[in-house]
Amino acid sequence: MRTSAIHTIQDPAQFKRQLLQWAQQFREVVFLDSNNYHQNYTSYDAVLAVDALTSIQTDYHNAFDELNTYQQTTKDWLFGYLSYDLKNDTEAIQSSNFDGLGFPDLFFFQPKKIFFLKDNQLELRYLNMCDDELDSDFIEINQQPATNNHQPITSNQQPVTIQQRISKESYLEKAGKMLEHIYRGDIYEANFCMEFYAEDAAIDPLEKFEKLNAISEPPFATYLKNNKQYLLSASPERYLKKEGSKVISQPIKGTARRSADEAEDLALKQELLVNDKERSENIMIVDLVRNDLSRTAEKNSVHVDELCAAYSFKQVHHLISTVVSTVNPEYSPVDIIRTTFPMGSMTGAPKISAMQIIENLEETRRGLYSGAVGYFTPDGDFDFNVVIRSILYNQDKNYVSFSVGSAITAQAIPEKEYDECLLKARAMRSVLEG
């Protein structure tokens, strides 16, 4: 059981900074920030969950069954992540590529303390075992400095030198092989990704998150801490949300750069809307998502609410579609995730063939990149993002990683796909290298 308290916040933007700084004392932290980007289906402006009462951490073997048991047993708020390699739990696929991060494949925890911010209303929901700390915590949070002058988590920070796992020449060669698979009819589309990394890297995760979030201000930003493993995410994409019997997926496919010139920026957005290659990328994934959702949906309930709508973010324009279904009540919340994971926007179509080809051509395990972070409610609703535009950091290993990718279709030109990857990498690279 949980005890609630509600407060009115005078300056929500400042309070979010204070809240996240206060959270650094805890071993487990999930902070979700919409950055006031109000897409359809936004529930909260920001959510913070800290301090595990219970948790689950596992590799991919039987991971969804274990998560299902944990979720059904606790019937409480659960926060955490699903890594891309959970695909190995549902399909006959193995991951033998290099993994410099070493994160668990799945991690969720039942937080003792949760904060929900909507407009200027803050609700705290504490487990009864610690509800005597509701007032003192709120006072302590408001005493945090309004600007980031916290002590760095690590004192031996050095400039980070980013290396590229796949050279341009190798990327072009591998993209060409991907096209050969498409021409042969093995796949229609695949999301091909590459890693950028730094070894012997000591960074301050909170500082880097705040810089990354300020550059992009995306609707699904995430700061996640599991002891000494960190995710700093500026994701613009929702993977999957459940509200009652309604399930919502919002895949992103299709990207165009922004321009400081207003007329040119509008022209770039309009050009994206009518670009055959970008639209075909999106429509192929929409078909895949419709098929995935149908596996747990009531008959004839899957439909497309919005197809290839252009949305503007600080750095890029994207095409986003919204696919919804009504879930058949015989399926559990984890069943809905299991039958749609990994998200089609990060795999390709057909999904299994695309994942097998990806595994052969990419050089690193994706891990948490192109997985999902989010939460379950006590009622079995949930909301998860897609982990893209994200920095991953293992403080024990001093290893920093971020990956980017683009969709290869029959119309793809490898040089342009490579340029799109560099465009997507720019924010993470600038944050890390300064």
Q: List residues with catalytic annotation.
A: 237, 253
Q: Are 151 and 205 in contact (CB under 8 A)?
A: no
Q: Are 349 and 285 in contact (CB under 8 A)?
A: yes
* CA dist., res. 323 & res. 424, Å (int): 25
* CA dist., res. 200 & res. 161, Å (int): 10
For every residue of 404-420, DSSP letters joined together read EEEEEETT--HHHHHHH
The residues near 318 (Cβ < 8 Å, ≥ 6 apart) are 236, 252, 254, 255, 310, 311
Q: At what angle do helices 205-216 and 414-433 cross, to 10 degrees?
A: 130
* CA dist., res. 179 & res. 411, Å (int): 9
| Strand ranges in 136-219 using DSSP code E only, listed in sequence order | 163-164, 189-198
Name the nearest CA neighbour of 245 among 292, 301, 321. 301
| DSSP-derived 3-state class of residue 362 | coil
How far from each other are the two terminal CA atoms of the chain, in whole angstroms?
A: 45
Residue 421 vs residues 171, 425, 426: alpha-carbon distances, Å: 10, 6, 9
319: tokens are 């095409």
Name the nearest CA neighbour of 356 among 215, 186, 203. 186
Name the nearest CA neighbour of 334 among 269, 402, 382, 289. 382
